[in-house]
Structure 1
Amino acid sequence: MADTTSSSAASSSAAPTSTAPTGTLVPNATKEVGFQENWKYRTFIDSTSSKDPKNDAGAKYLELSGGILSVTPASSDTTENSSYWPDAGNTTTDVTGTSHTFNVTGNRLIGDACQDFIAGLAYKTGDLRKTLIKQIGPDGHTMVAQVTISNIVAWGGNANAKGTFSFTMSINGKPVIDGSDDGNASNHG
């Protein structure tokens, strides 16, 4: 008996393609679109402990990559709820502040310049724990921010396992996103 499978059925499972209409703002038309794997978000940490995200010209950025298993961003908003007379008892919520952190976990890779820098901060305090980070998303958006590095764990675990490595980066103040610190830059991440 002859095969009656249509060739159009096989082609219908192919991923759809689309193009941006003329006039649509596309940061870089050659960049990938769709779901991105997390490793494509690149994070760099300044080893000179610069503090000003508006002026990172002297920064020596080291890529946070070797031995890293996970970088998990978290945010917490400060909100104010108000119930005005015209709203008939209903509430309006305004975000009056925001806090952003990045929890990093992995395996300790001795000799990796970025990990060695962070591990070297473990017994330091105050301003010595502050530096800059630069993050570049797969869409090309960038963020430069001052961070405090805390909760550093540079070793530990079972005798027959790779050493543990983890820490938290907390953004201090306002980051510079896509070269702008006016609050009108594109959303990062």
Structure 2
Amino acid sequence: MATNLVQIKGTEIPTDGAALNVANRLYIDITDNDNDLSDITTGKWAWLARGISEITPSWQEKTQKTAYYDEDGHDDTEVTGKSMQLAVKGVRYLGDPAQDYIDGKQYAIGSAAKTRVLWINNGMPVVSACTLTAVTPTGGAADAQQNFSLTIAFNGAPKTTSGKLTLTETDKTRIFTAAVDDKTPAVPPTGTHDTSNQH
């Protein structure tokens, strides 16, 4: 199929100035693999975007406050632990691979609720084992679209890629494979899934 339409100049996502949330990307590994944190290429990454209106990161921190004699009785705060999570909200979109996968986890417990997440935050790929929690794939008023929400809880320390990440869409729409070029410095992802081919 020919590609003969291009984006109108000025409608691109800005790469300088005020950062827009839409520049970030969120993917879920639909292979149920939460053990392999050494190789991103083993995943099938479903883009969680269709029907999604909000993605909000937050960090739960454990801190220890201690007052030392040489600090005149004032506390010194040390971060001793940290966990990250992404709160995702939107409307249910039937047939979307990422949403359909998450919908299948609403009753899951234990390892069945675990997989991997890829969050591209202002161009930086962040990969982590995760647990899909508070999965709510339906609900709301009778005359409204169904609600869709979940919290993606990161497990352990997240990682990034060792080189340039390329995401390529498979023959199944909105599911991508990942490749990393270790000889090229890590930069914002390129390939068939960039800002000029996001719809």
2:42 match: secondary structure: coil
1:57 match: secondary structure: helix
For residues 67-121 of structure 1, give each alpha carbon's deviation from its aligned partner in whole angstroms, at most 9, with x where no partner exists.
0010111112111111111112111111010111111110000000000000011
For residues 7-66 of structure 1, give each alpha carbon's deviation from its aligned partner in whole angstroms, at most 9, with x where no partner exists.
xxxxxxxxxxxxxxxxxxxxxxxx811212111110110000111322232110000100
Q: Which amino acid aligns with 2:151?
A: T
CA–CA distance in 1 between the matches of 2:86 and 2:121?
A: 14
CA–CA distance in 2 between the matches of 1:71 and 1:53?
A: 23
Pairing partner for 2:156 from 156, 163, 173: 173
CA–CA distance in 2 between the matches of 1:84 and 1:106?
A: 48
Structure 1 unaligned regions, length at least 5: 1-30, 181-189
Q: Does 1:115 align with 2:91?
A: no
Higher Rg of the two aligned structures: 1
For residues 140-179 of structure 1, give each alpha carbon's deviation from its aligned partner in whole angstroms, at most 9, with x where no partner exists.
2110011100111111111111111001100100000354
CA–CA distance in 1 between the matches of 2:160 and 2:45?
A: 17
The corresponding residue for 2:181 is none
Moved over 4 A (4+): none
Task: Name the structure where strand makes up a greater proportion of residues.
Answer: 2
The corresponding residue for 2:128 is 145
User: After the TM superposition, which residues 1-189 of structure 1 pair with which residues of structure 2 at under 5 Å, given as runs?
Assistant: 32-51=15-34, 52-138=36-122, 140-179=123-162
| TM-score of the superposed pair, with normalisation by structure 2 | 0.71
CA–CA distance in 1 between the matches of 2:22 and 2:15?
A: 14
Alpha-carbon contact 1:45-1:63 (below 8 Å) kept: yes
Q: Which amino acid aligns with 1:120?
A: G
| TM-score of the superposed pair, with normalisation by structure 1 | 0.75
CA–CA distance in 1 between the matches of 2:131 and 2:162?
A: 21
Distance 1:82 1:179, change over 3 A: farther
Structure 2 unaligned regions, length at least 5: 1-13, 164-199
CA–CA distance in 1 between the matches of 2:128 and 2:85?
A: 11
CA–CA distance in 1 between the matches of 2:121 and 2:57?
A: 13
CA–CA distance in 1 between the matches of 2:160 and 2:80?
A: 19
Distance 1:96 1:115, change over 3 A: same
